[in-house]
Amino acid sequence: MSEIYVVGHKNPDTDTVVSAMSYAALKHALGEQDYTAARLDHLSDETKRMLARFGFETPMRLRDVRTQVKDLDFDTPPALNASVTLDLAWKTMNDGQTTVIPVINEDGTLHGILSSSDIASYSMQTIHEPRIDDVPLFNLLSVLEGRIVNENDITVDSISGEISIALPQSCENLLFSSKDSVVICGNQGDMVKRALEIGVNCLILCQTDVDPSWFKTPSSTCVISTPLDANKVAKLVYQAIPISRACFTGDIECFHLTDYIDDVREVVLKSRFRSYPVLDENDKVVGTLARFHLLRPRRKRVVLVDHNELAQAVPGLEQAEILGIIDHHRLADIQTTQPIAMRNEPVGSTTTIITELYQENGVMPSVKMAGLMCAAILSDTVMFKSPTCTQRDIAMAERLARIAGVSIDELGHDLFASSFESKTVEELMKSDFKEFHIAEHTLGVAQIICIDSFKMLDRKDDFLAHMNTLRSERGYDFVILMLTDVLQEGTELLYVGEDDTIRFAFNVEPKDNHVFLPGVMSRKKQIIPMLTALWG
């Protein structure tokens, strides 16, 4: 089975990243190794510091979960080297019950495509053109199961000539008369002697003993002895050519493992081919794709953590199979085609819920993971000062701190004591930015948690300018920036939009696109609900 991606929301914060990592680690502890923690975007400085502090690598970045070629059950017929014989290709097709085989170069890249119709077309041509040209001697010996009789006299590596079958008749009526011939005969001494006298390019002896007297005089003719009868040899001799000569090498449509089936489907519908080579990241052939493979694709499998809203979810989610959701936000607009496991609880951090899952399954997180999970709870509850914080958050964070052997106060100070001077306003707002749709309004809300909001306000004009740009480019009705100060236990709120929205939603008098909201620490519980009540 394919991987199961555990992934949070866009613009990932510490809670969403740690939720994905800790849930995947829990599944691994329970023997389910398919789970992989992932993230959607760049990590904040806070998250990076916590990962570094507890010795974790950054989770993989998942850009989208649209179905790709690698998610399809495409065929994997043997890819044959361009130098192998047509005979071997035909046997391979029959053994594998396939009608198309990729032909590859020495380095594994695509040379061409060989189909059963290509073989049939070549075989029909031999009726009107009974000759072979520059067929490797190795190939000829292989298909005829033969050996060279006069090995010491032969210096050629390939065979060419008109194909002649020496039927029992007098030498005066021989069908061959020039050196440019490949003669097939049985136990016919006169025929053999005449062919050697003429010096034909190749003489194939079928099911006959070799008379040493035939070779008293050295000859340049390559003499091959085979246990096969003349009738079979007459057919197989044409099958000794390299498949590179019969395969199609024109404008071949190819697909890579990373191509999306939406794009593949468009190409296939416009093309006349029945089968298409599949290439890996190094352009090496790994299989073939047919139209019917697109009918029932395997979808990527995901578990969503810390969100259940399409606007915040990984792109392409509509093509994925959602196996579960673990969240602490309001129920939003994600729909599934079948029942799933869902855990949605009114706590301050998704990591709190996952800690409870560890308890319920009798699994203790590692010392490092416990420390990271504790940091995630402290981050999302703003050191237990957020109104979303519950006693369960506090209890779980304290339990994790004991396992990890860390101080909650010291860890909390490390979380929020970050310097923002080196960051641009764009980078600061992007670090924790979420988009919301309320009634007919669309808004973006960024939050920066700090202990020195007064320094951040020195850049007020720059923040407002960038917020106006976002509003214009993305068509937002409203853009808000929350400068949430842990020490002040409140939020300096900057906004672009109608003053009346802030005035009526929070019962305050704003000035110059700015207002201080004491006690406001949570975007989810204290900002969005107020706007929902106003606009809804």
Angle, vertex CA 318, rays to CA 316 and CA 319, nearest 5: 75
Query: Residue 159 has which token pair?
Result: 């065979």
| % helix, strand, coil for the chain, step of 5 | 40, 25, 35
The four Cα atoms 393, 399, 405, 408 give a dihedral, to 10 degrees, of 30
Query: How many other CB atoms are found less than 10 A from the CB of residue 527?
Result: 23
Instruction: Average the pLDDT over each of 177-186, 302-311, 481-490 and give the range with the smallest value.
Output: 177-186
Residue identified by tokens 């002896």 is 205
Which among 319, 359, 358, 322 has a CA at the least distance from the CA of 342? 322
Long-range interactions of 26-34: CB distance < 8 A, separation 24+: 26/354, 26/357, 26/358, 26/361, 26/363, 26/365, 29/361, 29/363, 30/361, 30/363, 34/1, 34/2, 34/3, 34/4
pLDDT tens figures, 239-261: 999 999 999 998 899 999 999 99
**Residue 338 and residue 408: Cα distance in Å, rounded?**
41
Average pLDDT over the chain reads 92
Domains of the chain, first to last:
4-67+300-416 (3.90.1640.10), 425-535 (3.10.310.20)
Q: Is the pTM of this model over 0.75?
A: no
* CA–CA gap between residue 20 and residue 37 (Å, rounded): 5
What digits encode the pLDDT tens for the residues 254-283? Answer: 999 999 999 999 999 888 788 899 999 999
**Confidence band (pLDDT; 50, 70, 90) for 414?**
confident
| 3-class SS of residue 50 | helix
| C-alpha count within 13 angstroms, C-beta hemisphere, residue 231 | 0
Are 139 and 242 in contact, with CB atoms under 8 Å apart?
Answer: yes
Residue 64 has pLDDT above 90, yes or no: yes
Helix, strand counts (H, E) of the chain? 17, 23
User: In the prediction, which pLDDT does 211 show?
Assistant: 84
- Strand ranges (DSSP E) for 295-356? 301-305, 321-327, 341-344
Which amino acid belongs to residue 217? T
Task: Decide if 505 contacts 530 (C-beta within 8 A).
Answer: yes
Q: Which residues of 99-220 form beta strands (DSSP E)?
A: 100-104, 110-115, 131-136, 147-148, 158-165, 181-185, 202-206
Distance set, CA 414 to CA 181, 279, 379, 407 (Å): 88, 47, 10, 11
Q: Provide the sign of the torsion angle of the four alpha carbons 507, 508, 511, 517, taken in this order.
A: negative
What percentage of the chain exceeds 90 in pLDDT?
Answer: 73
Chain-centre distance of CA 347, in angstroms?
35
479-497 mean pLDDT = 94
List the structure tokens of 182. Answer: 């490949």
Range name among 82-86, 150-154, 333-337, 394-398 with the lowest pLDDT average: 150-154
Burial of residue 129 (number of CB atoms within 10 Å: 0-12, 13-18, 19+): exposed
- State the pLDDT confidence band at 177, using cuts at 50, 70 and 90: low
Nearest to 236 by CA among 94, 351, 108, 141: 141
The β-bridge relationship of strands 433-438 and 441-450 is: antiparallel
User: Rounded distance, CA 298 to CA 301, Å?
Assistant: 9
**Model pLDDT for residues 118-149, shown as the tens digit of each residue:** 999 998 988 888 999 999 999 999 999 999 98
φ, ψ of residue 420 to 5 degrees: the values are -105, 0
pLDDT of the residue at 516: 96
User: Residue 305 contacts by C-beta under 8 Å, 6 or more apart in sequence?
Assistant: 6, 7, 8, 16, 19, 20, 23, 325, 326, 327, 350, 354
Both tokens of residue 531? 């706007």
Is pLDDT of 175 > 60? Answer: no
Q: Which residues contact 207 (CB under 8 A, 6 or more apart)?
A: 186, 187, 226, 227, 228, 229, 230
How many Å apart are CA 16 and CA 30, to the nearest integer?
Answer: 21
Instruction: Supply the pLDDT for residue 176.
Output: 60
Q: Indicate whether 168 pLDDT > 90.
A: no
Tokens of 172: 């005066």
Residue 374 has, within 13 A of its CA and on its CB side, a CA count of: 27
- DSSP characters over 241-257: SBGGGTSB-SS---EET
**431 Cβ contact partners less than 8 Å away, ≥ 6 residues apart:** 11, 13, 44, 45, 446, 448
CA–CA dist 9, 192 (Å, integer): 82
- pLDDT tens digit sequence for 415-469: 887 767 778 999 899 888 999 999 899 999 999 988 888 889 999 999 999 999 9
Rounded-to-integer distance, Cα 472 and Cα 468, Å:
6
What tens digit of pLDDT does each residue of 18-59 get?
999 999 999 999 999 999 999 999 898 889 999 999 999 999
Lowest mean pLDDT among 95-99, 217-221, 316-320, 488-492: 217-221
Q: How far is CA 86 from CA 22, 96, 131, 140, 247, in A?
A: 55, 15, 15, 11, 10
* pLDDT recorded at residue 14: 95
Residues 449, 303: Cα–Cα separation, whole Å? 28
Q: What pLDDT, on a 0 to 100 scale, did the predictor assign at position 169?
A: 57
Query: Residues near 428 by Cβ (< 8 Å), separated by ≥ 6?
Result: 420, 446, 448, 463
